[in-house]
């Protein structure tokens, strides 16, 4: 797969998942924290930070996880390092862009991070499976014509 296409795809998925996480966080604070929904606002800098985080978090994916011809144990090690590295990026961006101020916000952001990480992996695997099926169908069609 084209690395730029993979980077763009990952950036969009990560950014979308982070945005959904922020919306869920706002709704939870509204329901349980007593903050009125009318006070929940996203500024342009927050939206920009979401896209920037998605773009930066996509880079390690393109670098570390595009080589699939490695032994399973090395891939698992890369996956663990990938998860920890992205978590460090998200924590740093969260601090810089003031996504959390207190411990409860940090804990909630950590939970959202792992949910986003799982979501992106599931969707990525689904995309790859769909592409594999398209390629196999095209190959079967070519074989049938012969």
Per-residue model confidence as pLDDT tens digits over 2-13 = 888 888 988 998
Task: State the pLDDT at residue 52.
Answer: 93
Task: State the pLDDT at residue 65.
Answer: 64
Q: What is the mean pLDDT of residues 48-73?
A: 83
Look at residue 78 and tell me whether its pLDDT is greater than 80: yes
How many alpha carbons lie under 13 Å from residue 131 in its C-beta half-sphere?
8
Question: How many other C-beta atoms can be found within 10 angstroms of the C-beta atom of residue 30?
Answer: 15
Place of tokens 């959202």: 112
Look at residue 145 and tell me whether its pLDDT is greater than 80: no
Task: State the pLDDT at residue 39.
Answer: 67
Most confident segment among 18-22, 50-54, 77-81: 50-54
Closest to 97 measured CA to CA, from 25, 42, 21: 42
What letters, b where the CB count within 10 A reaches 16 and e where it falls short, cover 103-137? eeeeebbeebbeebbebbeeebeeeeeeeeeeeee
Q: What is the mean pLDDT of residues 122-138?
A: 85
Per-residue model confidence as pLDDT tens digits over 22-54 = 788 777 777 877 666 666 677 888 889 989 999
């Amino acid at each position: 797969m084209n690395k730029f296409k993979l980077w763009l795809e990952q950036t969009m998925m990560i950014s979308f998942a982070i945005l959904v996480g922020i919306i869920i966080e706002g709704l939870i604070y509204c329901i349980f924290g007593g903050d009125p929904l009318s006070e929940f606002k996203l500024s342009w800098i927050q939206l920009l930070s979401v896209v920037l985080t998605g773009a930066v978090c996509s880079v390690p994916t393109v670098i570390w996880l595009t080589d699939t011809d490695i032994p399973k144990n090395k891939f698992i090690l890369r996956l663990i390092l990938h998860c920890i590295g992205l978590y460090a990026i998200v924590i740093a961006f969260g601090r810089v862009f003031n996504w959390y101020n207190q411990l409860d916000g940090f804990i909630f952001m950590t939970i959202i991070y792992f949910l986003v990480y799982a979501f992106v992996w599931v969707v990525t695997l689904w995309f790859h499976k769909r592409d594999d099926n398209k390629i196999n169908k095209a190959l079967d069609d070519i074989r049938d014509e012969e």
